[in-house]
Structure 1
Amino acid sequence: MTQANKRTKQARTLRIFRKIHRITGAALFIFFFFISVTGFLLGWKKHSNGVLMPETYVGTSTDLKKWLPIDSLHTKAVLVLRDSVSPNISTEIDRIDIRKEKGSVKFVFTDHFWGIQLDGATGDVLHVDKRYSDFIENIHDGSILDKYFNTSGGLIKVIYTSIMGIALLIFTITGFWLWYGPKRMRRSKSRV
């Protein structure tokens, strides 16, 4: 293969990679925008002074033997949620975070991003909060669409994260080639 043919082939490859890079970027622009903004916010959530992610409050005892049973704490959290937020609000639990070292228990609810922090030993309310970081995380990973469309098994999240992961891989490969390809062409041209 002659040098001219080799350069023509390299230029054609560069054009193909540039086109793939441009089309992928244009097609997925809005998704990359949301991922970058929400990723930035999630990175700062612990440093937001309780705005994005509520602080963990300290209870009276770190000794689990002195704690109330989880079902009693759950009942108390549901009562607090209904009294503090709305009597008709969903009480379905997403997760229970036990913070033994802080002496507190966080009850996080599924449908509305509210959280209740209780003292593990006394059951006293430590904090009632809207968990914006959970909402942001659901936008970030696409699971907000599973909640909105009520899909089972996180199907939309799996499809969304697969597409975005493959797109990022394509961007990495094509971006590298768009940087390296011209250097390679100049190097081969200088040899001739």
Structure 2
Amino acid sequence: MTKGTARKRQAKLLRNFRKAHRITGAALFIFFFVISITGLLLGWKKHSGDLILSKSYAGVSTNLKHWLPIDSLHTIANTYLLDSISSELSTEIDRIDIRKNKGMVKFVYTDHIWSLQIDGTTGKVLHVERRYSDVIEKIHDGSFLDELLGTSNKQIKVFYTSFMGLALLLFTITGFWLWYGPKRMKRNKVST
């Protein structure tokens, strides 16, 4: 193969990469924008001054022997939720985070963004928060669409994250080639 043929092939490849990069960037601009903003917010959630995610408050004791039973703490959390926030809210639990080193149990609910931090020893409500970080995370990974459309096994999230991951990989490869390709062509031209 002659150097002229190789150079033409490199130029064609570069044009194809530029086209793929341009089309991918244009088609997925909104998605990349949303992912970047939500990613930044999630990265800063613990440093947001309690706006995105509240700090973990400390209970009286870290010794589990002094703690109330989990079912009692659960009852306290649900009673507070229904009496002090809204009697219309679901009490279905998404997860219970036991923070032994803080002496606290956090109850995170499934159907809304409310969360309660309860002192493991006294049962006192230490903090009530709206978990905006959970909303941001659901937007970031596309799982809000699964909730909106009622899919059974988070198929949309899996498709969305796979598709966007592959798109970002394609964008990275084509972007690298758009940077490196002309340098390579220039170097090859100089050596002829």
Please tell me the TM-score bracket, short chain as reference: over 0.9
**Counterpart residue number, 1:160:** 160
Could you tell me which residue of structure 1 aligns to residue 55 of structure 2?
A: 55
Q: Which residue of 2 aligns with 1:37?
A: 37
Please tell me whether residue 5 in structure 1 is matched to residue 12 in structure 2: no
- Following the alignment from structure 1 to structure 2, what is the Cα–Cα distance between the partners of residues 37 and 142? 14
Q: Post-superposition shift, 1:84? A: 2.1
Query: Once the two structures are aligned, what percentage of the paired residues are identical?
Result: 67
Q: 1:112-158 deviations in whole A, cap 9, x for unaligned?
A: 11101100011110011101111111111111111111111111100
SS in 2 for 1:20: helix
Amino acid at match of 1:141: D
Matching residue of 1:20: 20
The letter of the residue matching 2:29 is: F
Which SS does the other structure have where 2:44 is aligned? helix
Amino acid at match of 1:136: I
Partner of 1:184: 184
Name the residue aligned to 1:123. 123
DSSP 3-state at the match of 1:116: strand
Name structure 1 gaps, 5 residues minimum: none
Residues 1:113 and 2:113 aligned together: yes
SS at match of 1:59: coil
Distance in 1, matches of 2:21 and 2:110, equals: 38
TM superposition score normalised by structure 2: 0.98
Question: TM-score normalized by structure 1?
Answer: 0.98
2-side partners of 1:110 and 1:33: how far apart? Answer: 27
How far apart are residue 48 of structure 1 and its match?
0.8
Q: What is the CA-CA distance between 1:9 and the residue it aligns to?
A: 0.5
Deviations 1:1-21 (A, max 9, x none): 111111111000001011111
Q: Does 1:138 align with 2:147?
A: no
Instruction: Trace 1:94-105 onto structure 2 (pairs within 5 A).
Output: 94-105=94-105
RMSD, matched Cα:
0.8
CA distances 1:22-44 after superposition (whole Å, capped 9, x unpaired): 11111111111110000011111
